[in-house]
Amino acid sequence: MKATRKGMLLVISGPSGTGKGTLIDKLLKDDPSFVFSVSVTTRKPRDYEVQDVHYHFISDEEYDKLLAEDAFIEHATVHANRYGTLKSEVYERMEKGQNVLLDIDPQGARTVVEKEKECVSVFILPPSYKVLKERLHTRNTEDPVEIARRLGNAKGEIEQLQRYQYAVVNDSLDLAYEQLLSIVNAEKQRTNRYFPVVEEE
């Protein structure tokens, strides 16, 4: 039966080094119904990061201006930098039926889950704290101070797990991705997002 669909808001969180980014990139590549909500941040770009693709990298002044304009759905200070989800990245697209993916921290996820009751929330866990530590050291994107900060914050982030609907442990990437796809595909079929069109021949 023909149907129209309402866009899904998919919130994904997980400590730095869980492989969350790889899972997200794969989902966005494989499923064109998803668009990524590009956040704003006051963090400095990493070498490989592209302005307006990975983030809208902005100054503290620009961030303050967006706050004053009430441009954010949620915003938070994470690992000593400021991040925010722009309303303009989310609502219009959902109205058009697109699924929107947010990669945000547990503070931001808490706000979104409260505001958007129909959102789907997934927390990506590392197989162990030891593996998380190893991954953060080998990926080599942060300096030792930043790695220590991110590892310290990981414990607090994992304690927020119960606020999420789903947990995926990223031990094997293939298995974790399969689990993420199962969640997403089941959620797409929820009756609150799926509207059949009854046509008379």
Summarize as ranges the residues that interact with ligand 5GP (CB under 6 A).
13, 16, 39, 43, 74, 76, 78-79, 83-85, 103-105, 107-108
Residue 39 or 193: the one with the smaller Cβ distance to ligand 5GP is 39
Q: Where are the alpha helices (DSSP H) in the chain?
A: 20-30, 60-68, 91-95, 106-115, 129-139, 144-158, 173-188
Residue 102 or 184: the one with the smaller Cβ distance to ligand 5GP is 102
Residue 5 or 36: the one with the smaller Cβ distance to ligand 5GP is 36
CB within 8 Å of 45: residues ≥ 6 apart? 51, 54, 55, 57
In the block, residue with structure tokens 């699924």: 99
Query: Contact at 8 Å (CB) between 56 and 72?
Result: no
Give the nearest distance from C-beta 186 to ligand 5GP in angstroms. 23
Other CB atoms closer than 10 Å to residue 8's CB: what's the count? 22
Give the nearest distance from C-beta 108 to ligand 5GP in angstroms. 2
Residue 108 or 126: the one with the smaller Cβ distance to ligand 5GP is 108
Give the nearest distance from C-beta 53 to ligand 5GP in angstroms. 12
Q: Output phi, psi for 21, to 5 deg.
A: -60, -40
Q: What residue is closest to ligand 5GP based on CB?
A: 108
